[in-house]
Chains A and B, each alone.
Chain A
């Protein structure tokens, strides 16, 4: 089954404690990205990756890092989380020239 898998799905953490949200896709897609979704602001892109070792900033990259060492994985790293990073996060992937973007199930992150 084609899917994008994110973990953890739910997390409550404290300010400043580094965390990583993993993302894995089994469709051999080249393009992967991370979005955050906040009420009234919609989905905003954080980072994206066109292929292995190729990453770039989206619209709201501050406070986040990513890496793309393997095609299937695209983890999102919060080095020092702050309460304003409390949000619903989605990982997504798509074929390089495709138009259908597949979303993961989302990760609810709360920073206290």
Chain B
């Protein structure tokens, strides 16, 4: 079982719609959760991080964490073509014994104009 799992996509949504990206993780002791956006051929850039159960909002982005279900999601409201990218979920897991991010393989999002 992969430590962090994401559907590879592509997830296709029309412009203006809500895009919902999902991620599950295997280590129940994981404490910190991150969403990165990566444009093709570019480096990942941090969108949001979340530590506590519930929702965290930042502009058009909302991260949702459910530790009981080992599930973290990212909602993008009013999706724009410029949001088309691969979204990486990352987790800091104490299982590794070191402070390092474990990444999922990413979900490719396509926003159709």
**A residues lining the B interface (CB < 8 Å):** 31, 33, 35, 40-45, 48, 56, 58, 90, 99-101, 103-106
The reply to whether B43 and A48 form a contact with Cβ atoms under 8 Å apart is: no
Q: Which of B32-59 contact A (CB under 8 A)?
A: 32, 34, 41-46, 49
Count A-B contacts at CB 8 Å. 43
The reply to whether A101 and B98 form a contact with Cβ atoms under 8 Å apart is: no
Q: With A31-B99, A58-B100 as known contacts, state yes or no: A41 contacts B46, CB within 8 Å.
A: no
Q: Which residues of A contact B42 (CB under 8 A)?
A: 105-106
Best-buried of B32, B43, B102 by chain A (most CB within 10 Å) = B43
Please tell me if B101 contacts chain A, counting CB pairs below 8 Å: yes
Among B11-19, B66-74, B103-111, the stretch that binds chain A is B103-111
| Docked complex Cα distance between A87 and B92 (Å) | 24
**B residues lining the A interface (CB < 8 Å):** 4, 8, 32, 34, 41-46, 49, 88, 90, 98-106
The reply to whether B49 and A99 form a contact with Cβ atoms under 8 Å apart is: yes
Q: With A42-B103, A42-B105, A45-B100 as known contacts, state yes or no: A103 contacts B32, CB within 8 Å.
A: no
The reply to whether B8 and A40 form a contact with Cβ atoms under 8 Å apart is: yes
The reply to whether B99 and A40 form a contact with Cβ atoms under 8 Å apart is: no
Q: Which residues of B contact A41 (CB under 8 A)?
A: 105
Q: Can you list 19 contacts pairing A with B, beta carbon distance less than 8 Å?
A: A33-B100, A41-B105, A42-B88, A43-B90, A43-B103, A45-B100, A45-B102, A48-B98, A58-B100, A90-B44, A99-B32, A99-B34, A100-B46, A103-B43, A103-B44, A104-B43, A105-B43, A106-B41, A106-B43
Closest partner residue, chain B, to A43 (CB atom):
B103
Closest partner residue, chain A, to B92 (CB atom):
A99
**The 9 A-B residue pairs with the shortest CB-CB distance in the complex, in nearest-first order:** A42-B105, A103-B43, A43-B103, A42-B103, A106-B43, A105-B43, A45-B100, A103-B44, A99-B49
Q: How far is the CB of A35 from chain B (nearest CB, A)?
A: 8
Q: How far is the CB of B52 from chain A (nearest CB, A)?
A: 13
| Docked complex Cα distance between A40 and B99 (Å) | 24
Which of A56, A58, A90, A100 contacts B43, CB < 8 Å?
A90
